[in-house]
Amino acid sequence: MNAEGIIGKRSGVQPTNLFSTDPAIRAAEHPHAAELRRWASGYLSRPHRDLGRPGPVCPYIGRAIGGRYLWVCFVEGRRIDAERITAVVDDLNDLFPALPPRHEPDNELKAVLAVFPDLTEYVDIDAVQQVQKTRFVDKGLMLGQFYPGCTVAGLHNPNFPALDAPLPILAVRYMAPTDFPFLNTRQEWIDTYFKVFAPAIPGFISNSMAAKLVETPAGRSGSAPRG
């Protein structure tokens, strides 16, 4: 499974498979790739006592790792501003459908991570995620931010920092049924959620339900590991 020829036209990012078994890919990988694999397999795929529910932090990550469905591109440099991050996100939006696997049901488990290993300030990460989230939701996708010290709470324990990560990351994946709490602060997001997961509901009914379900934001801005 490779992404040969899949390159961002704006930013030049080229995703590689994080769990590839190809010796050539492993030999040329970024120095932080091993750290990401440890985070994914040693943290996200395992239970946590503070999570607030049984099971791994991300209930889908184990199958994604097993299928080698996780893609990553590293964007180096300390002087990366919101404009540069936006260019990367624009490219991820274009490239995500082309990354393997492309067909259901396996494609629902894939994700691509844009990693900014040299950044130590995350204001622009948060800002770009907030601005760009709607365009991803409109396509049935989620754009989530992760970084060291991120305080966005988990779904089951408000004291659990669900988006804390060893490196600053913007991640793209398909929307999951458990994403509702991250979409219920705007009616257009809930509308899309219903279109994806409840297509049998008549449109006028789902629109009415969406209007009644919108909540006042309470610190939720991203998309936590699915669960």
Q: What is the DSSP string of 149-201?
A: T--PBPSS-TTSBTTB-SS-EEEEEE--GGGGGGTTTSHHHHHHHHHHH-TTS
Length of the chain: 227
Q: Is pLDDT at 191 greater than 60 in this prediction?
A: yes
* % pLDDT > 90, the chain: 65
Whole-Å CA distances, 40 to 25, 32, 159, 165, 188: 19, 13, 21, 10, 31
Asked which of 60-74, 77-91, 146-160, 162-176 is least confident by mean pLDDT, the reply is 146-160
Q: Is a pLDDT exceeding 60 seen at residue 119?
A: yes
Average pLDDT value over all residues in the chain: 89
Confidence band of 212 (pLDDT split at 50, 70, 90) = confident
pLDDT for res 213: 77
Interval 8-26 mean pLDDT: 94
What pTM, to 2 d.p., does this model score? 0.87
- Across 94-109, average pLDDT: 94
Tokens of 101: 């696997």
| Mean pLDDT within 154-172 | 91
Residue 150 has pLDDT above 80, yes or no: yes
> What's the confidence (pLDDT) of residue 154?
81
The position carrying tokens 């988990």 is 154
Question: Does residue 225 surpass a pLDDT of 60?
Answer: no
* Structure confidence at residue 187 (pLDDT): 87
- CA gap 225, 145 in Å, rounded: 10
Residues facing residue 144 across a β-bridge: 171
| Residue carrying the six token digits 């844009």 | 114
Distance of CA 111 to the CA centre of its chain: 7
CA-nearest of 89, 151, 137 to 116 is: 89
CA distance 175 to 224: 11
Higher pLDDT, 143 or 60: 143
Strand-pair category, 111-115 with 70-74: parallel
Q: Which pair of tokens denotes residue 21? A: 């078994």
| Rounded CA separation 14/35 (Å) | 19
Give the DSSP H/E element, type plus range, for residue 125.
helix 123-137
How far, in Å, CA of 143 to CA of 171, rounded? 6
